[in-house]
Amino acid sequence: MKIKDITNCLEEFSPLHYAEDFDNVGLLVGEHTTEVTGVLITLDTLEDVVEEAIDKNCNLIVSFHPIIFKGLKKLNGATYVERAVIKAIKNNIAIYAIHTALDNSNEGVNAKICNVLGLSNQRILIPKRQTLKKITGTIPVTKFKEASIGMGMIGELKTPCNEDDFIEYVKVKMNTKFIRHSKLLKKPVKKIAVLGGSGSFAIEDAIRNKADVFITSDLKYHDFFRAESSIVLFDIGHFESEQFTVDLLFDIIKEKFPSFTPCLSKKHLNPINYS
């Protein structure tokens, strides 16, 4: 089995053209034709993750976040990004990142959050318009369609509950002891919007969709005012909102290649500590 067999499998599930324009997805280090000795799945490809891949004889790292994001102008080991890339190249370790391609998939990151929370009636929160090009004679015709892909998801609890109980429920399901939230509205919670990672841009979309709670991360001070007493905003943490993505990637590969078992990194830890 070659690297391209693994990447083709992932891209059948989440094509790379689903990714946002700002993103850097696909095979970042290595060659598609390399024979795979093992696959290590992680949220972030840091130097210790590359070391873990070496120890486990995995020559392909499938990472959610791209370690090369803004581009590299130098490669001398001065930063954590450069050190990870140098170690990977020296040890013939390929690095593949899927990031917002998986975010925009209707069975991707946000569907996984909905499933963990037990939400039904799931649908895309912010549908992504896809460009379709057809050739009519010699003239290209561009059309748009609303695809079943996009950022965020919205779903419903089977049974409404009060806000305090829902806070505790989310803490248990999302493995966190802390939730930053806007003012509680003392209303039943039924419809939930979710967006893994940084989701402040979707607050108004969650309100328009009449969600009772919007679960995301990386909200700034002034973002909480945008709740406007119309919704309760939950900031559960960036890592916490994306932690189950590695399990999703594992399942995608395992389903396609039942006799092949990828490894889940033991190093994909939350860089944020609480005291």
CATH number at residue 125: 3.40.1390.30
What integer pLDDT is reported at residue 70 of this predicted model?
84
CA dist 123 and 197 (Å) reads 18
Is the pLDDT at 130 greater than 70? The verdict is no
Mean pLDDT taken over the chain: 93
CA dist 141 and 128 (Å) reads 19
Domain range for 25 is 3-102
The verdict on 67 and 142 lying in the same domain is no
What integer pLDDT is reported at residue 147 of this predicted model?
59
Evaluate whether residue 249 is within a structural domain: no
With residues binned 3-state (H G I as helix, E B as strand, rest as coil), the percentages for the chain, rounded to 5, are 35, 30, 35
Confidence class for position 128, pLDDT limits 50, 70, 90: confident
pLDDT digits (tens, 9 = 90+) for 92-107: 999 999 999 999 999 9
Domain count of the chain?
A: 2
Is the pLDDT at 269 greater than 90? The verdict is no
**Does the predicted model carry a pTM greater than 0.85?**
yes
Q: Which residues is 193 bridged to in the sheet? A: 154, 214
211-219 long-range contacts, Cβ below 8 Å, gap at least 24?
A: 211/154, 212/187, 212/188, 213/163, 213/166, 213/189, 215/113, 215/117, 215/170, 215/174, 215/241, 216/241, 217/241, 219/180
85 Rama sector, left if φ>0, alpha if ψ -120 to 50, beta otherwise: alpha
Report yes or no: 168 and 139 within 8 Å, Cβ to Cβ.
no
The verdict on 228 and 109 lying in the same domain is yes
Report yes or no: 236 and 179 within 8 Å, Cβ to Cβ.
yes
Sheet bearing 39-42, strands edge to edge: 26-29, 94-97, 60-63, 39-42, 263-264
* Mean pLDDT for the stretch of residues 35-55: 98
The verdict on 115 and 219 lying in the same domain is yes
